[in-house]
């Protein structure tokens, strides 16, 4: 649902290499500091290990279950999450998510407008209910280039394998 006066970004459903993000607030609005989104991770899909130096993220699990990988000091630890759980990731902390259930893991995400703009750049618009197609190598390269421009750190396939995430 769109609110009067907001740009077309609100309500847009974006495929971000498998998981989807729906913008509930407009990260392009003048003076926007925060962005609120609904994220959905399909069964068996993971968000690889990464960090963003200037963008904290908070996740409230709306439905489904899975795991969040959280940096605690110098080590990483998987934490089970389910509906009603809240996870906060400080700016710069390494983290990942994976859906270990048979239903979508749906989270309300609050972060910075800058992270919302990042999702607008890397995401591919999809229609609700449509199954996203697997990303092409070119789309993955484009994602990595945009992430680098935003100064995001992305783990290598080997680093992801070490924590139990296999990348295509």
* Helices 137-149/113-122 angle, 10° precision: 150
CATH number of 13-162: 2.60.120.10
Over residues 131-154, the pLDDT tens digits come to: 767 788 899 899 999 999 999 999
Over residues 39-95, the pLDDT tens digits come to: 999 999 999 999 999 999 999 999 999 999 998 888 999 999 999 999 999 999 999
Specify which residues 113 forms β-bridges with.
Answer: none
CA 61, CA 125: separation in Å to the nearest integer? 23
Q: What is the mean pLDDT of the chain?
A: 91
What pLDDT does 5 receive? Answer: 42
Over residues 82-116, the pLDDT tens digits come to: 999 999 999 999 999 999 999 999 999 999 999 99
List, in sequence order, the alpha helices (H) in the chain.
113-122, 137-149, 157-162
CA 14, CA 121: separation in Å to the nearest integer? 10
What pLDDT does 7 receive? Answer: 53
Q: How many residues does the chain have?
A: 168
């Amino acid at each position: 649902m769109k609110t009067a006066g907001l740009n077309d970004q609100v309500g847009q459903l974006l495929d971000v290499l498998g998981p989807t993000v729906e913008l509930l607030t407009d990260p392009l609005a003048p003076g926007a500091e925060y962005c609120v989104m609904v994220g959905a991770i399909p069964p068996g899909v993971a968000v690889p290990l990464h960090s963003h130096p200037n963008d904290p993220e908070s996740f409230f699990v709306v439905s489904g279950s899975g795991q969040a990988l959280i940096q605690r000091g110098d080590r990483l630890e998987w934490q089970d999450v389910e509906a009603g759980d809240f996870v906060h990731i400080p700016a710069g902390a390494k983290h990942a998510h994976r859906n270990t259930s048979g239903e979508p893991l749906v989270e309300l995400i609050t972060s910075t407008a800058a992270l919302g703009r990042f999702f607008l750049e890397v995401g591919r618009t999809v229609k609700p209910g449509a199954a996203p197609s697997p990303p092409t190598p070119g789309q993955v390269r484009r994602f990595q280039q945009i992430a680098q421009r935003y100064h995001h750190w992305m783990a290598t396939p080997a680093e992801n394998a070490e924590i139990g995430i296999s990348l295509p």
